[in-house]
Amino acid sequence: MAKKPPKPPSSKPAKPKGTATAKRPGKGARAIGRPHMCLPRVIEAFCAAINLGATVEDAAGYAGVTRHAVHGWDARAREAVEKAGLDPDEPPDDAASKVEEKERPFVDFFIRSTRARTGGNVAMLAVIQRAAKGGAVWEADPNNPGKQIQTGFVQPDWKAAAHRLSIRDSEYTKHARLDHQVTATGEPFGVQIYLPSEDDGGRPKGDK
């Protein structure tokens, strides 16, 4: 009876004796995901962009994340704040210290981004307010350090005033009508505002 040829040597390196073999996670085991990007530098960049008036998508891109990630952080923060017994619509500034430690970065982002949104809106309204009022233009006096001189005058802008009013009271301006008068050169010099009256059902007279 012919003998069987010997088996060729294995190409796999031999494991040293006593080496433990890693086991695959069984059913129900929690997989380890990617670490979140809700980091201080990301929050700082996002809030800076939002404060300047950027959209959520643009601010997220500027910070190096996606808008879907931002919305997910907001939802996670609101859930954590509610779980801590706080109002997510009016969370206190120290809300991050009152939630679970793993949720603190998201709550911190939620509070800071909310403040950035409202702060940016107020800053833009201040610009509109200045344009609506007009007034003197002041600049630093090159001959007298620390002092200012008037270099011009800006006429009040009725369009800025109308825009500010529309933001503040949309129902008020919904039925109001603004007629501006202009000079021969096309420069506005007066604005006539027709307001709603109770006699005509809340609509300005002359409107159909």
Average pLDDT over residues 66-75: 95
CA distance 67 to 80: 20
Tell me the sheet residues that pair with 150. 138
Average pLDDT over residues 20-38: 59
For the chain, the average pLDDT equals 76
Quote the pLDDT of residue 127: 81
Beta carbons within 10 angstroms of residue 110's beta carbon: 26
Q: Nearest CA to 111 among 73, 57, 152, 54?
A: 73
- Give how far Cα 133 sits from Cα of 76, 151, 153, Å: 43, 17, 11
CA distance 148 to 190: 31
Choice among 16-20, 34-38, 63-67, 106-110 with the minimum mean pLDDT: 16-20
Quote the pLDDT of residue 31: 45
Q: What pTM, to 2 d.p., does this model score? A: 0.55
Output the six-digit token pair for 26.
């069984």
Gyration radius of the chain's alpha carbons: 32
Q: Give per-residue pLDDT as tens, 146-166.
A: 888 888 888 888 777 777 777
Quote the pLDDT of residue 75: 95
Q: How confident is the model at residue 40 (pLDDT cuts 50, 70, 90)?
A: very high
- Give how far Cα 108 sits from Cα of 94, 113, 131, Å: 9, 8, 35
